[in-house]
Amino acid sequence: MDVPAVQLTRETFGNIPPSSVIAFYVIAAASMLVFCWGVWRRWKLWRQGRPVAIREILLGNFARLKPRLGRLLKEGLGQKRVRGRGLASWAHIMMFAGFMMLFLGTTLLEVDHLAGKVSEKLHFHHGWYYVIYEGALDVFGLLFILGISLFLWRRMRRPSSVGHRASDWTALYLFLGIGVTGYFVEGLRIVWDQPEGLALWCSPVGASLAKLFGEMSEPASRSAHLVVWWVHSLMVFGFFAMIPFTRLLHFITGPANLFFSTPSLGQLKPISIEEVEETGVVGVSEIAHLDQQQLLSLDACMECGRCDDACPAFASGKPLSPKAVVQDLKGLMQATANGESVGLHGDTIQAETVWACTSCNACVTACPVRVDPLGLLFDLRRDRAAEGALAGSAANSMRQMQTKGNPWGFPQAERLAWADGLDVPLASDHPNFEILWWVGCAGSFDRRAQKVTRAIAKLLIKAGVNFAVLGPNECCTGDSARRLGDEFLFQELAEKNHSTLKQHGVRKILTQCPHCMNSLTHDYPQFGDQFEVVHHTEFLQQLIDNGKLTAPERNGSVTYHDPCYLARVNGVHQSPRDLLGDGVSEMERRREKTFCCGAGGGRMWMEEEPDQRVSVLRAKEAIETGAETVAVGCPFCLTMMTDGVKSCGSGAVVEDVAENLAKRLGL
Ligand code: SF4
Ligand code: SF4
């Protein structure tokens, strides 16, 4: 390049008369005021909720702050949770990257301008910095426009999961206008301001546009530049002013929610009797019962519809859309602040919606900004359960749990009936066991699941494992009670189990039920218990790895259905596949992205309309693989998938991974 380095710059506000510069700053200030006022109004809405210890979060120890900052960096700046949705993800990433760079570039330009006012020496917008700056902004500007164009194209096809409001179109066209006029401002400036060679180096897009205006005289291009510069600036100010009043609010609330939310996969906040006595509140019956972070999260929702796309209740036609739950509560938050007398239960959220959730956690993991529709539903359920609104078969199962220690209502004395003819040691007779096998209610009482239990027992005995079971001293973990909202029944059962486990000095637990596994892993530690809990598929694989069992080749084709609480919530998805051996025919939705069988969240104990069965949807996916066997790793999935496969008229066999292995070993 033959241009001296000192000329590698451009004047900020070049060609803009002083009166326009003053007007620019006045309008900028007005736009910022509108922005701050809008955010302040939302802030007041969030403050209706139960307080969150913001000071403690921000000023507490760094170890607790670190994961929050990490989420902000990885999931906010790195867009980690946005990825994986094809075109929509790419469009968002391009738009986000473009926006961030243009915002940063404009801020740096202003800093340089103000620094220059203090001293000429403080100018840094020149030389190679200038070349890199201009080049980078040119490229990221293109990305920005491309991202918006993709979003517009997608929106024109009106996907049902995406909201369609006039303000969404306005925001997108405004963005497009800002991007395009930005290039026109640059192109018109280059006509009189820069030698072509330099412009092509620094601003290839702007320089190409400048060729379009090549015939223009300098005065004409200067006049056009001033006009387009104003259009561009007014659009930018309009954009900032509209942020708090449109879906664009997620620019602020999204990162804020990523920072303030607490990951809750598989967990529920405990409630204490003392707390209830003090507040008189169990769960959520009005908007002020949600905490401030939950209210902030309602504003973080940008209605992308990812939660709906992942939701089995929504897919099966039940009256539950996690996105609508979030948006309806957001509407209630505003209405309550306006003094309108709108109720929560019945008015805003219907009872059928509250009970339709299978607590599969798919919405929790799908949301790019960590909104937690499941956490909201759990809180609503707690209120309904406390009000005695849970009726029918589920209420009956809860009663049986309370009085008999299991949801089926079988006598506890029959807990070991499944072990007839097998040498299964009881913890009370065999205190020196290495691992306690938590059989669970389904494994103990459900006829079909008992066969799985027997298969596991034979495998453990063959491998020479030093185990024991609690037999009649085992009681339901209370997982379903907790997830149906009956926190105090759960705590009662947990307390009973806690003293049994303590009495036997249990530290390591083997379980065949992912719901028991989750409860023992995530719920029980909240009450002082800490165990190493292992699912039977992991344990059996360890026995094979240690040479205590072999895994003969499998005959016939098999597909594997990942239970939500095993794969998505607790990350166990490889060991079942390893146990099944090579050539598992995979369903599209698998591992952490599995699709529910319909039994979680206490739905196991509820009647389902025949045309709204989640199990049928999942069974169809399994059947489509063409596999002869559908393997599972959960007693609830076993029941649901068996029903689903039967309803579809398929002859596929549904069996637990352990049964499959035991068969291959001739046990
Ligand atoms: S947890 Fe599962 S069933 Fe419940 S709302 Fe979320 S996606 Fe739907
Ligand atoms: S809750 Fe999350 S996933 Fe659902 S629509 Fe809102 S932002 Fe999207």
Report the nearest atom of ligand 1 relative to the CA of 311.
7
Cα 273 to Cα 61: distance, rounded to the nearest angstrom: 30
Instruction: Please give the distance, rounded to the nearest whole angstrom, from the Cα atom of residue 589 to the centre of ligand 2.
Output: 19
Instruction: Please give the distance, rounded to the nearest whole angstrom, from the Cα atom of residue 197 to the centre of ligand 2.
Output: 48
| pLDDT band (50, 70, 90) for residue 44 | very high
Beta-bridge partner residues of 509: 436, 533
Which residue is it, tokens 């094979």? Answer: 544
Tell the residue nearest (CA) to atom 7 of ligand 1.
311
Cβ of 349 closer than 6 Å to ligand 2, yes or no, is no
Q: Can you give the pLDDT at residue 313?
A: 97
Looking at residues 256-281, what average pLDDT do you find?
92
Among residues 315, 480, 323, 314, the alpha carbon closest in space to that of 390 is found at 480
Cβ of 366 closer than 6 Å to ligand 2, yes or no, is yes
Q: Ligand nearest 614 Cα, by number?
A: 1
- Residue, of 197 and 265, whose pLDDT is higher: 265
Cβ of 88 closer than 6 Å to ligand 2, yes or no, is no
Looking at residues 342-352, what average pLDDT do you find?
96
Q: Can you give the pLDDT at residue 59?
A: 79
Looking at residues 401-407, what average pLDDT do you find?
96
Cα 440 to Cα 277: distance, rounded to the nearest angstrom: 33
| pLDDT band (50, 70, 90) for residue 196 | low
Q: Can you give the pLDDT at residue 494?
A: 96
Looking at the predicted structure, is the pLDDT value of residue 333 above 50?
A: yes
Q: Can you give the pLDDT at residue 2?
A: 46
Contact 434, 403 (CB under 8 A): no
Contact 303, 323 (CB under 8 A): yes
- Residue, of 344 and 202, whose pLDDT is higher: 344
Beta-bridge partner residues of 533: 509
Beta-bridge partner residues of 559: 630
Cα 408 to Cα 396: distance, rounded to the nearest angstrom: 9
Q: Can you give the pLDDT at residue 161?
A: 67
Instruction: Please give the distance, rounded to the nearest whole angstrom, from the Cα atom of residue 515 to the centre of ligand 1.
Output: 16
Instruction: Please give the distance, rounded to the nearest whole angstrom, from the Cα atom of residue 598 to the centre of ligand 1.
Output: 10
Query: Pairing between strand 508-511 and 532-535?
Result: parallel
Residue 566 DSSP symbol: I
Q: Can you give the pLDDT at residue 31?
A: 98
The first and second tokens of residue 180, run together, are 């395009």
Looking at residues 510-526, what average pLDDT do you find?
97
Q: Can you give the pLDDT at residue 434?
A: 97
Cβ of 367 closer than 6 Å to ligand 2, yes or no, is yes
The first and second tokens of residue 526, run together, are 């909240």
Looking at residues 214-219, what average pLDDT do you find?
88
Amino acid at 80: K
Among residues 426, 421, 363, 351, the alpha carbon closest in space to that of 564 is found at 363
Report the nearest atom of ligand 2 relative to the CA of 308.
4
Q: Ligand nearest 261 Cα, by number?
A: 2
Sheet containing 653-656: which strands, arranged edge to edge? 558-560, 629-632, 653-656
Contact 405, 472 (CB under 8 A): no
Q: What residues contact 418, with CB distance under 8 A and at least 6 apart?
A: 439, 443, 444, 450, 453, 454
Which domains, ranges and CATH numbers included, belong to the chain? 5-51+83-257 (1.20.950.20), 278-386 (1.10.1060.10), 400-545 (3.40.50), 558-664 (3.40.50)
Instruction: Please give the distance, rounded to the nearest whole angstrom, from the Cα atom of residue 309 to the centre of ligand 2.
Output: 10
Backbone angles phi, psi at 499, to 5 degrees: -70, -35
Q: What is the pTM of this model?
A: 0.93
| pLDDT band (50, 70, 90) for residue 56 | confident
Q: How far is CA 318 from CA 108, 372, 393, 416, 556, in A?
A: 51, 19, 18, 38, 36
Q: Which helix (H) or strand (E) holds 596?
A: none
Which residue is it, tokens 């570039």? Answer: 105
Cβ of 162 closer than 6 Å to ligand 2, yes or no, is no
Q: Which residue from 89, 161, 303, 328 has its CB within 8 A of the most atoms of ligand 2, so it is best to mutate? A: 303
Q: Can you give the pLDDT at residue 60?
A: 75
What residue ranges line ligand 1, CB within 6 angstroms?
310-313, 320, 322, 357-363, 373-374
Q: Ligand nearest 594 Cα, by number?
A: 1
Torsion region of 372: left, alpha or beta (phi above 0 gives left; psi -120 to 50 gives alpha): beta
Q: Can you give the pLDDT at residue 504?
A: 96
Instruction: Please give the distance, rounded to the nearest whole angstrom, from the Cα atom of residue 597 to the centre of ligand 1.
Output: 12
Instruction: Please give the distance, rounded to the nearest whole angstrom, from the Cα atom of residue 622 to the centre of ligand 2.
Output: 28
Q: Ligand nearest 377 Cα, by number?
A: 1
Beta-bridge partner residues of 510: 437, 534
| pLDDT band (50, 70, 90) for residue 203 | confident
Q: Which residue from 316, 320, 354 has its CB within 8 A of the most atoms of ligand 1, so it is best to mutate? A: 320
Q: Which residue from 358, 380, 515 has its CB within 8 A of the most atoms of ligand 1, so it is best to mutate? A: 358
Looking at the predicted structure, is the pLDDT value of residue 163 above 70?
A: no
Cβ of 309 closer than 6 Å to ligand 2, yes or no, is no
Cα 106 to Cα 481: distance, rounded to the nearest angstrom: 55
Amino acid at 335: A
Q: Which residue from 81, 301, 357 has its CB within 8 A of the most atoms of ligand 2, so it is best to mutate? A: 301
Instruction: Please give the distance, rounded to the nearest whole angstrom, from the Cα atom of residue 311 to the centre of ligand 2.
Output: 11
Cα 449 to Cα 460: distance, rounded to the nearest angstrom: 17
Instruction: Please give the distance, rounded to the nearest whole angstrom, from the Cα atom of residue 432 to the centre of ligand 1.
Output: 42
Question: pLDDT tens, 568-612?
Answer: 999 999 999 999 999 999 999 999 999 999 999 999 999 888 899
Looking at the predicted structure, is the pLDDT value of residue 107 above 70?
A: yes
Cβ of 254 closer than 6 Å to ligand 2, yes or no, is no
- Give the SS3 label for residue 176: helix
Quick one: the chain helix, strand, coil %, rounded to 5?
Answer: 65, 5, 30
Cα 481 to Cα 580: distance, rounded to the nearest angstrom: 33
Q: Can you give the pLDDT at residue 85?
A: 85
Question: Environment class of residue 16 by beta-carbon count within 10 Å: exposed (0-12), middle (13-18) or buried (19+)?
Answer: middle
Q: What residues contact 648, with CB distance under 8 A and at least 6 apart?
A: 616, 619, 620, 623
The first and second tokens of residue 23, run together, are 């007007």
Contact 645, 619 (CB under 8 A): yes
When mean pLDDT is compared across 77-91, 229-243, 456-470, the lowest value belongs to: 77-91
Q: Which residue from 309, 354, 374 has its CB within 8 A of the most atoms of ligand 1, so it is best to mutate? A: 374
By percentage, how much of the chain surpasses pLDDT 90? 85
Instruction: Please give the distance, rounded to the nearest whole angstrom, from the Cα atom of residue 373 to the centre of ligand 1.
Output: 7
* For helices 447-463 and 635-647, angle between their N-to-C axes, nearest 10 degrees: 130
Q: Ligand nearest 323 Cα, by number?
A: 2
Contact 219, 10 (CB under 8 A): no
Instruction: Please give the distance, rounded to the nearest whole angstrom, from the Cα atom of residue 381 to the centre of ligand 2.
Output: 20
Q: Ligand nearest 247 Cα, by number?
A: 2
Question: pLDDT tens, 519-543?
Answer: 999 999 998 888 999 999 999 999 9
When mean pLDDT is compared across 99-108, 150-159, 387-396, the lowest value belongs to: 150-159
Q: Which residues of 94-104 are buried (b: 16+ CB within 10 A; e: fewer)?
A: bbbbbbebbee
- When the pLDDT of each residue in the chain is averaged and rounded to a whole number, the result is 94
Q: Can you give the pLDDT at residue 264?
A: 83
By percentage, how much of the chain surpasses pLDDT 70? 98
Q: Can you give the pLDDT at residue 7?
A: 65
The answer to whether the Cα torsion of 319, 375, 77, 53 is positive or negative is positive
The first and second tokens of residue 590, run together, are 């698998």
Cα 367 to Cα 82: distance, rounded to the nearest angstrom: 8
Question: pLDDT tens, 374-384?
Answer: 999 999 999 99
